[in-house]
Structure 1
């Protein structure tokens, strides 16, 4: 039986292929989605005049979300030092192309680190602190979510911010994650990709760290998941369950599809499934009091 929540560990290529189908299935364009992050960036002066704002992005992917974050910062600051930590050579290459072609990012100094979060935090011994540390929908795939949050928080400068985006446990997609785990999970859930924003909030609460949250609801077109033999549907179902080759396991596939069918709505002959993007911004130092 397929191991629930192990998609990225099973096959990085399968994960990337399924992610592309997931991104294409949003009811809004990826550009519109990424632009929504601009308003989530803390609207304050993060450092003294004449000093670069220092940003650390964990798992930055193709850079779409990062670009929106950087543009918001450049509205208040003349330059940004942006350290990018991303393990995928393919994603790094796409991000570099985006950074080269988007002239509005000319005041950004990029520092590329093709590493996993674990490799980065293990190998980076310098004392650099960052005014903003962010991880946008990547904490599903780190080995230890608590250790990664701790390491991220340690690199936030006093008066700085940590921003994390995760699927909400209150969304129908978040409920599907937990449904899959309750029915088929094995071992410790947090050692798999079955994680939601509630796990981040629980860690922050345990550390007494102040934060604010916001939510964006976006529907996902999952029509292809119900078409027999659809490769697009098979990859999409893998991603929404974080489980490799779900369609090869009838019991898991039928459980997932039944949940999706019962919790979806029909719009223009499309089966639309609810996701909720929860963004958590934690404050360090005087600004967090």
Structure 2
């Protein structure tokens, strides 16, 4: 059976290279994408204006989106405690570099934790946070439902939890369904595999009786390079889209993926574009 998935588990270096190729292929600029998160943070519900606000970021990557969120909160709060949980030393260093170069973050106290989500939640920290966010992180945890439960338990009354995932309404999201259906191991438990989507988060929230709101942002991925045999950027992009390392070494998988893209993409000025839909889910914890 052909193995699909496991890119970041195979090689973090390969994953970061593939992610870089993905960012370069987005039709919307990375800066515009990051800034869109500022409008999705309901800071007025967190705690009284002027008081310290506590933020927990799970899998914060290089910190670009986190900083947008922090700046939005600083419009209303005088000071902030921000705990960063990120397993990659390289990503933490990139985040720290951004912080050092931005004097507007002087009111933020950073607490760096180089840990996976699983390692962090095993410590049973008792600090409660007004905002907890996980932006495109739950693809990589062992059990997304357990991680959501742990995040919710550390959320303070009146706070909110923000989770971003690819939507299964998108063409890229449905590529994941195609790969699961074609190369799955037969048990169809996609939570054990590499293709989780926003619907998984909403299912957990619905089951738990937790209220939430959602917002979607559409984007196009320029996948033209994927059809060029000699393009390393295309090979890396295919790795990211399939979450599979060196996927072009697997002709069976590659054939299915490229055929899917041909049938579900659009062509604009000789560019082949695959639609992505980023869904941001904000859940609110009622005061008890």
Which TM-score tier does this pair reach, normalised by the shorter chain? Answer: over 0.9
> Are 2:159 and 1:160 equivalent residues in the alignment?
yes
Matches of 2:213 and 2:45, distance apart in 1: 18
Task: Name the CA distance, whole Å, in 2 between partners of 1:170 and 1:11.
Answer: 29
Distance 2:200 2:122 in 1: 23
Q: What is the aligned partner in structure 2 of residue 142 from structure 1?
A: 141
State the distance in 1 between where 2:204 and 2:30 align: 29
User: Quick check: 1:170 aligned with 2:163?
Assistant: no
2:272 corresponding residue in structure 1: 271
**1:261 Cα deviation (Å)?**
1.3
Q: For the residues of structure 2 that align with 1:79 and 1:155, how far apart are their CA atoms?
A: 20
Q: TM-score, normalised by structure 1?
A: 0.96
Structure 1 gap ranges (5+)? none
> Match for residue 29 of structure 1?
29
CA distance 1:126–1:34, change in 2 (3 Å): same
* Partner deviation per Cα, 1:239-265 (whole Å, 9 max, x = no partner): 101112210111110110111111111
The residue aligned with 1:95 is 95
What is the correspondence of 1:1-289 to structure 2 with a 5 Å cutoff? 2-123=2-123, 125-186=124-185, 187=187, 188-286=189-287
1:252 and 1:105 mapped to 2: Cα distance? 45
CA RMSD, Structure 1 to Structure 2 (Å)? 1.3
Q: Separation in 2 of the partners of 1:49 and 1:277? A: 30
For the structure 1 residues 126 and 249, does the alpha-carbon distance in structure 2 shift closer, same or farther, using more than 3 Å as the test?
Answer: closer
| TM-score using structure 2 length | 0.96
Structure 2 gaps, min length 5 = none
How far did 1:156 drift? 0.5
2:19 is paired with a residue whose SS is helix
8 A Cα contact 1:58 1:85, kept in partner: yes
CA contact (8 A) 2:49 2:76 kept: no
* 1:285 alignment partner, SS class: coil
Per-residue CA deviations over 1:24-56 (Å, capped at 9, x if unaligned) read 111111111100000000141522355310000
Deviation track 1:141-179 (CA, whole Å, cap 9, x = no partner) reads 011111100101111000000000000000000000110
User: Following the alignment from structure 2 to structure 1, what is the Cα–Cα distance between the partners of residues 148 and 283?
Assistant: 11
Q: Is the 8 A contact 1:2 1:243 kept in 2?
A: no
Are the equivalent residues in 2 in contact too, given 1:2–1:245 (CA < 8 A)? no
Q: Distance in 2 between matches of 1:167 and 1:5?
A: 16
The ranges of structure 1 where at least 4 consecutive aligned residues each deviate by more than 4 angstroms after the TM superposition are: none
